[in-house]
């Protein structure tokens, strides 16, 4: 995750503090323990955000399809301009982002509600993994148990194995513009009785002509 959020450990930290104080009081030493809040946030000096690093990994593996599966709460936020640039880099590098989003507890839901209201007002995009998944044609699934985690992993792998690759080439005399072109993929299918099937399509939102 690109950021460490105080709220994620705040509840446990408060409980730890209360427990320490109760134990100290029972031992007759109330007030003698160090009363520091046991909440610490650190980021290693070589911390790397995998989604930002993915285009470099793709260039190092020109004959491979780079797929990211990020396990996250998806409560991260980034500036709108930053997310647009990152999405363009991912698409240009043919990287697909998938996400396994952990089901939210009460504290997470509170952070989610607050962030959904306030972050857009400050120019920040909320739920960045969901955004990158939609932009690059990946799947973002919610999981809350080991069984759901296993099913979601299987679904993502099956999707990778079953997907189609679409190719584009320039028409004669057409200029190779260095910009992203919008892409919309539509699918029409029928079941065994001839009725239309309502299918969901996962596809990247655009493409670059190499």
111-137 confidence digits (pLDDT tens): 889 889 998 899 999 999 999 999 999
28-73 confidence digits (pLDDT tens): 544 444 445 444 444 444 456 788 888 988 999 888 888 888 888 8
> Domain extents for the chain?
1-47, 48-164+175-207
Q: Which CATH architecture has domain 48-164+175-207?
A: 3-Layer(aba) Sandwich (3.40)
C-alpha neighbours within 13 Å on the C-beta side of residue 174:
9
Residue with tokens 């001839």: 194
pLDDT at position 17: 53
pLDDT at position 173: 78
Please give the model's pTM, rounded to 2 decimal places: 0.71
What is the mean pLDDT of the segment spanning 175-185?
80
Three-point CA angle 177, 182, 185, nearest 5° = 135
């Amino acid at each position: 995750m690109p950021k460490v959020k105080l709220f994620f450990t705040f509840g446990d930290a408060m409980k730890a503090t209360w427990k320490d104080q109760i134990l100290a009081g029972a031992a007759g030493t109330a007030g003698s323990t160090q009363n520091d809040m046991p909440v610490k946030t650190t980021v290693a000096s070589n911390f790397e955000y995998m989604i930002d690093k993915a285009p470099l990994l793709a260039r190092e593996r020109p004959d491979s399809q780079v797929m990211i599966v990020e396990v996250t709460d998806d409560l991260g936020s980034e500036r709108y301009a930053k997310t647009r640039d990152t999405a363009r880099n991912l698409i240009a590098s043919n990287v697909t982002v998938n996400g396994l989003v952990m089901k939210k507890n009460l504290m997470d839901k509170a952070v989610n509600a607050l962030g959904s209201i306030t972050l857009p007002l400050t120019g920040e995009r909320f739920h960045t993994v969901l955004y990158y998944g939609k932009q690059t044609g990946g799947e973002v699934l919610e999981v809350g148990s080991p069984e759901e985690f296993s099913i979601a992993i299987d679904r993502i792998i099956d999707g990778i194995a079953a997907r189609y690759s679409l190719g584009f080439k320039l028409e004669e005399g057409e200029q190779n513009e260095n910009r992203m072109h919008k892409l919309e993929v539509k699918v029409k299918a029928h079941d065994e009785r001839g009725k239309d099937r309502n299918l969901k399509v996962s596809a990247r939102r655009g493409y670059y002509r190499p």
